[in-house]
Amino acid sequence: MYLHYISEIICFQIIIYLFLRNAFNGRISKRIIICPIISLVLIFLLKTTNYNDVLFFATDVILYFVLPPLIVTDIKRKRIIYSSIVIVGFFSLVNIVPFFLSTFFSKNSVLISTINILLDVVLLTIAAFLFKRQKFKVSVFYITSLSKWIKIVSTFFIWELVILFSLLTVCLLQYPNSPTISFVCFLIIVVMIISFAAFYMLFTNNLRSKYYKTLNKTLEANANSQVKYYEQLLKSNDDLRKFRHDLNNIKIGLNSYLSNNDVDGATEYLNSLNIIITDNPIIFHTGNSTIDSLLSDKANYVKNSNINILFEGIIPECSIKPVELCIIIGNILDNAIESCQKINNSDLKVIKISSMQKQNFLFITITNPVNENVIINNDNIPTTKSDTETHGIGLYSVKQVLNNYNGHLHLSCKDRIFTVEIDYQTL
């Protein structure tokens, strides 16, 4: 009758040690030999005491939470204990299912015990197979990188289900026809459904938040690289202006060599000049050197696509970081360019950027033509891309930056002209 308890003790231990070895590269020390010895002693004591509940609880604590930190090395004890709590909770939940189902179908204890033993063997086999796969290690790494509070909530949720399922099973087995107990069971089921829904929303929101934060860091790193590029581009243009300013003096020196027919001297003279030539001249003067470089670079990029970028107004240097300003203007401009490239006609496509400062706020409006009017929902637009996972990241990044400066973003589309209006605090 109690054979399923023994199989549970054996299988749970094997699963815990397999998990710790494969998931975290834990080293199983020679002290593992004490596991079967202590297990046999505790099983014997359980049998002689008719599986006393207190002793059974003590057995679980010793075998699942005390011994693993003593036997497994190269892993922090907190991680070992946490892993054991999650594993025991999850597999206990699975083991309760046959008992719960027996309240509706069969109350044959031998049959239920046999099903539990088979279930333990199946779980052990599946675990041993999954733990060896590389995808399993990647999944474990991703889960361990979740925030501390979501891991605590996940563990609490698993054990809450274990307790509620156990309570529900006991109520249905011992008081099958009691109206009061039936109502209690109904309340337990309602609590379980609410808990599952709450946990699902918390978990998915956390994953989504983590995903966007990771992408944000990537975008910020790319934007930093862009800013460095634009700064270098600006420096090159400064050097070019200086060179043009000195051109007359250089011509005088060169003419002196040529007038004396000193070709070798003229060649050496030219080679000694540090001439910097750029293919991307600065053609915008917004009042912000970083944005000057960004707009000039984008205009150079689309010059062969029949797209023209116009700017009117001023974007002053202010408290907003250059990289954040590049994230705002760059992402909106990239979306505008992409929309223009989708228009098939040969007419000139114009992207207009206007900027105006009022008191402590800067207001920027960017308009561009589109193929057809765009559906807008809460300042978001549906994707037309096959890559739906990364769609919207640009606008999300813009909103995140604007939030840091009490800013706002508003989207509108009328007569096939798409408009983005943004504002942010400059002080």
DSSP one-letter code for 362: E
Domain shared by 185 and 295, yes or no:
no
Domain shared by 74 and 188, yes or no:
yes
Last residue of a domain, one of 184, 218, 252: 218
Q: What is the pLDDT of residues 258-313, one digit of tens each?
A: 777 888 888 877 776 654 444 456 678 888 888 888 888 888 888 888 899 999 99
Of 308, 304, 416, nearest to 353 by C-alpha is 308
CA atoms of 276 and 26, how far apart (whole Å): 58
**In which residue are the tokens 């098939």 written?**
344
Q: What is the mean pLDDT of residues 333-340?
A: 90
Give yes or no for a contact between 328 and 408, defined as CB atoms under 8 angstroms apart. Answer: no
Last residue of a domain, one of 163, 186, 218: 218
Last residue of a domain, one of 182, 203, 218: 218
- In the chain the first and final C-alpha atoms are separated, in Å, by 76
* Number of domains making up the chain: 2
Q: What is the CATH number of the domain that holds 324?
A: 3.30.565.10
Torsion of CA 27, 31, 37, 40, to 10 degrees: -30
Domain shared by 300 and 209, yes or no:
no
Exposure letters 136-175 (e unless 16+ CB within 10 A, then b): beeebeeeeeeeeebbebbeebbbbbbebbeebbebbeee
Residue 230 placed within a domain: no
Give yes or no for a contact between 326 and 223, defined as CB atoms under 8 angstroms apart. Answer: yes
What does the pLDDT read at residue 4?
Answer: 77
Q: Which residue has the higher pLDDT, 226 or 362?
A: 362
Residue 173 placed within a domain: yes
Residue 12 placed within a domain: yes
**pTM for this model (two decimals):** 0.51
Residue 366 placed within a domain: yes
Q: What angle do CA 327, 331, 335 make, to 5 degrees?
A: 175
Domain shared by 72 and 202, yes or no:
yes
**In which residue are the tokens 């990647």 written?**
138
What does the pLDDT read at residue 362?
Answer: 92
Domain shared by 181 and 298, yes or no:
no
**SS3 state of residue 263:** helix
**In which residue are the tokens 């995903």 written?**
211
Q: What is the pLDDT of residues 30-45, one digit of tens each?
A: 889 998 899 888 888 8
Scanning 260-372, the segments in alpha helix (DSSP H) are 263-272, 289-302, 322-341
Domain shared by 213 and 86, yes or no:
yes
Residue 19 placed within a domain: yes
Residue 224 placed within a domain: no
Residue 130 placed within a domain: yes
Of 283, 290, 281, 418, nearest to 352 by C-alpha is 418
Domain shared by 313 and 201, yes or no:
no
pLDDT tier at 182, thresholds 50, 70, 90 = confident
Q: What is the mean pLDDT of residues 180-206?
A: 82
**In which residue are the tokens 């040529």 written?**
258
Q: What is the pLDDT of residues 338-359, one digit of tens each?
A: 889 888 877 789 999 999 988 8
Domain shared by 179 and 311, yes or no:
no
Residue 42 placed within a domain: yes
CA atoms of 64 and 81, how far apart (whole Å): 8
Token pair for residue 387?
Answer: 């890559």
> Residue 25: which region, alpha, beta or left (left: phi > 0; alpha: psi -120 to 50)?
left
Residue 407, pLDDT above cutoff 80: yes
pLDDT tier at 388, thresholds 50, 70, 90 = very low
Of 240, 335, 340, 330, nearest to 294 by C-alpha is 330
* Domain that residue 410 falls in: 289-425
